[in-house]
């Protein structure tokens, strides 16, 4: 599967079934991580995608930049969460979800256009 779908199919792998299985496992793993860490963990999904789009897939740069930019993003999300409805606070997870949802819709549309 890592090399090519066509080669995997020639080796007897049911490619569509494996894809569905991998999507299901990834979805369950993400749901488990969010249930433990909360919606703030959504930052861990947004920032690495942005860094990978901007700087490329080199993990020597990807990991440190993801950590620094993830922290910066969380601070930038925390500021409006504390100031919009002062003196009470909006949960920072709402702000990160408001940023993350349009971003993932953008990624889906980008990938959908690349396929067709």
Neighbours of 95 (CB within 10 A): 22
Look up the pTM and report it. Answer: 0.60
The predicted pLDDT at position 116 comes to 55
CA 23, 25, 31, 37 torsion: positive or negative? Answer: negative
The predicted pLDDT at position 39 comes to 67
Residue 66 CA to residue 73 CA, distance in Å, equals: 10
N- to C-terminal Cα separation, the chain:
21
Mean pLDDT in residue range 103-116 = 75
DSSP conformation class of 87: T
Name the residue with higher pLDDT: 18 or 40. 18
Q: Is the peptide bond before 93 cis (omega within 30 degrees of 0)?
A: no
Mean pLDDT in residue range 48-63 = 87
Name the residue with higher pLDDT: 22 or 104. 22
């Amino acid at each position: 599967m890592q090399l090519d779908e066509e080669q995997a199919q020639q080796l007897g792998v049911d490619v569509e079934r494996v894809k569905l299985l991998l999507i299901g496992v990834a979805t369950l793993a993400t749901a488990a991580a969010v249930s433990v860490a909360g919606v703030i963990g959504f930052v861990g999904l947004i920032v690495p995608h942005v860094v990978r789009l901007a700087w490329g897939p080199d993990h020597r740069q990807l990991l440190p930049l993801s950590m620094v930019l993830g922290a910066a993003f969380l601070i930038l999300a925390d500021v409006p969460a504390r100031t919009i409805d002062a003196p009470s606070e909006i949960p920072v997870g709402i702000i990160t979800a408001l940023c993350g949802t349009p971003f993932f819709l953008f990624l889906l549309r980008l990938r959908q256009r690349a396929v067709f």
